[in-house]
Amino acid sequence: MEGLKLEQLKSLADLLDLQDLDLQIDKLLDTRSSLPELDQYKVAHAEVARLTAALEAARTVLSDADLGLRKTNGELELTVEKAAGEQNRLYAGGLSARDADYLRREVELLYQKVSKMEDEVIGFIEDKEQAEADVDRLSEELVAATTDKDALAAAISEHWRLIDKELAIKEERKKADLELVDDYLLATYESMREGAGGRVVGRLTDGVCGACHLRLSAAEESRVKKEDPPRCIHCRSILVI
């Protein structure tokens, strides 16, 4: 054809094949990065993190309640024992009125302390029971959430394995196509793709650009065919005659 050698036409046709491969690769990469499971995994991962933190907090509450219960129970036993001993001294008699009055007030204070500590024990028991229930519930929820997260991770890995396998095949084909395209055409093509992306090469069929689908007049088509490489006057895509 006028203005274009057979070798140039072949290189342009190979460039169109290269673009088709690049578009397929772009689509695969987009699919790889936009799997619906990826957003689901982020949600699942956040839920596992939340439950892990909540479970740790519940275990801390349980540990504190258990420690408080054991400590208060020990102090309560000692206080009850002391109160009973002082009361026995009071009942045994043989004390002066002043000493007896002092001892009576001390016994009253000790039993008041016993009553207060018994309330604390009840509070610690309630806290411990609630914390145990929370630990059991959160442990079950964490197991379920972790199972869901791991299932999503496995699904993503399988999708990526299949996509990467297909990408490897297309990348090998691309290497072969690159050898068939003239360097100056390849440089122009890569520069255009970097700037605009997408489809920057189109076949000229019946005067219509295959990239932008706009028609060239007969004069425009004749002028374009003389260029090296041919470029659409509308979208400046490289044209394959």
Which of 25, 29, 12 is closest to 188 using CA atoms? Answer: 12
Q: Is residue 177 part of a domain?
A: no
* Residue-range definition of the domain harbouring residue 198: 1-34+182-241
Q: Is residue 168 part of a domain?
A: no
Q: Is residue 175 part of a domain?
A: no
Residues 102 and 43 in one domain: yes
pLDDT in tens, 90-122: 888 788 888 888 888 999 999 999 999 999 999
Residue 3: its pLDDT value, please?
46
Torsion angles phi and psi, residue 233, rounded to 5: -75, -20
pLDDT of 5 strictly over 70: no
Please give the tally of structural domains in the chain.
Answer: 2
Of 117, 144, 159, at which residue does a domain stop?
A: 159
pLDDT of 1 strictly over 90: no
Question: Which ranges of the chain would DSSP assign to H, the alpha helix?
Answer: 6-33, 36-92, 97-178, 183-195, 218-225
Residues 53 and 153 in one domain: yes
8 Å CB contact between 8 and 228:
yes
The predicted model gives 157-186 an average pLDDT of 95
8 Å CB contact between 48 and 142:
yes
Estimate the crossing angle of helix 183-195 against helix 6-33, to 10 degrees.
30
Q: Is residue 171 part of a domain?
A: no
Give residue 7's pLDDT band: very low, low, confident or very high (50, 70, 90): low
Compare 93 and 225 and report the one with higher pLDDT.
Answer: 225
